[in-house]
Structure 1
């Protein structure tokens, strides 16, 4: 497999050195094409790191090096007889190994995303390439220009950089997400299987009337910035008293809500673009008007606008009764069982 060596790039500007070079170059200049590939893979590396800060650069580079990149179907789009700069178009080709495809598609399946690598690449402007099996290509525009001394070639990507960087990002992140999603899936399965027995003889004490909600949250932030929910759950792990309603009837006392754990999503960019399954808190809700104890797991894999949801749908393990958790205009927290 071809290994792409990353060269120092600043603002997508590629510089390569050659021992001897004339001032006139063409769009197929070997050093120039190498610099174009290096610039694109470097940008993809930085994009992956920005959305996955806990992943090491060495792991990202190793994953990128599993892909093979090449530039085919080179043609000159513009050439100025009074300048050494040449403007070009070509097909940027990425060859994806079978194991990378399998890992990425398994992660998509575990995340509840009904797609595959080919469709994901199509969303970024790629199409199947005839260059080789499991190869995909997208059109890019770039320009090349030798320095005055003829020892270096400058390259710059004019069009197509975003789609190439996004495609590489998604391929690598999905393939690397396989193991993490497998861990989350195992944990969710364990949570569902272990359901404590409800004992009728145990009576739940009603919450004292003087107990206030644990926390007041700025409503505007709650409605428009999803991380507030995650931060809220993290901050309130343990026992909390919320306003509650059972089958539409509001209870006179607050109900006891125990938040036992919180699992954050693995990648914010993938969550926003593909809406995979991700897990919110596991909760035990004890209602003041009876000895009801329910284990629920909050999650969302719907097609709603994630960042604008004011409540989260949860499902009781045993009979799938929906539960809502929301914050009212006064900043008080509520849970509803319907």
Structure 2
């Protein structure tokens, strides 16, 4: 593996108090960079002081959105050790996104090593308070200068990290979501299964409308019939209807969440009946009315986010009495316990940082 060159900052910043942390507002002293050029491949892996870099105004990513990213976390346990959660799976998913965007794939081992190396250099930034973590954002952007729709011949892979608190201001408390039959996030055959800028840009207007109506996020329905559940905000959605756990299948319009996979693995190991099948909004509303519904979102940023209220076509439906369900809480406690090293990790999901 190519040696990573490290240039340390001459002006280290002061780390913020754990109690002051929001999400995605503060970044560490360093960043990782690596370039790609056609005929040369990926090269020049390096860690440098965090700071701006220059892009030409005609840079491909600025005009045609050829860019991808991922997101994972590092956690400092009570034992002082720093753990990365499912880092190999995030490296693989970055390459799956690259495939959809015609971006040359990266060596997964180098992606993993870039993450470990940068977290090691800036490990003093990993917060200690329960509920806090170090968020890790790998990104690839097209950097060739041209106007014309075709894949770029040059790219930049960069990695930035920063200490974070809770993603939602509600924390682990139930959120209110609005099922939209007007706006869509993605469609089968499009980019929904990739973690790319376009999907998030497509979600902004609907999310703003939902927040104006007093909701935290949008429950996206399918783009064809506006009937079947896709995702909720930036998370995968799951439901417990009676004794069945249901989540929409990975149909090409839905991102394959790492937390989604973790939850499904745990549920099956615990003996639950788990189905990955289409879920109609009518089925969800009927279960809510009958009082047989528990509902939650899964994602790296929030881990598990319980749903306490669902809005649809001007009506509001209370989920599980507006409280966090017992299964939702158990899933959260188990995954967070593995991440912080307080719960057994039979799947080897957590990787302890060197030294």
User: What's the TM-score once normalised by structure 1's chain length?
Assistant: 0.26
Highest RCO, 1 vs 2 (Cα 8 Å, sep ≥ 6):
2
Report the structure, 1 or 2, having the larger helix content. Answer: 1
In our comparison, the structure showing a higher alpha carbon Rg is 1
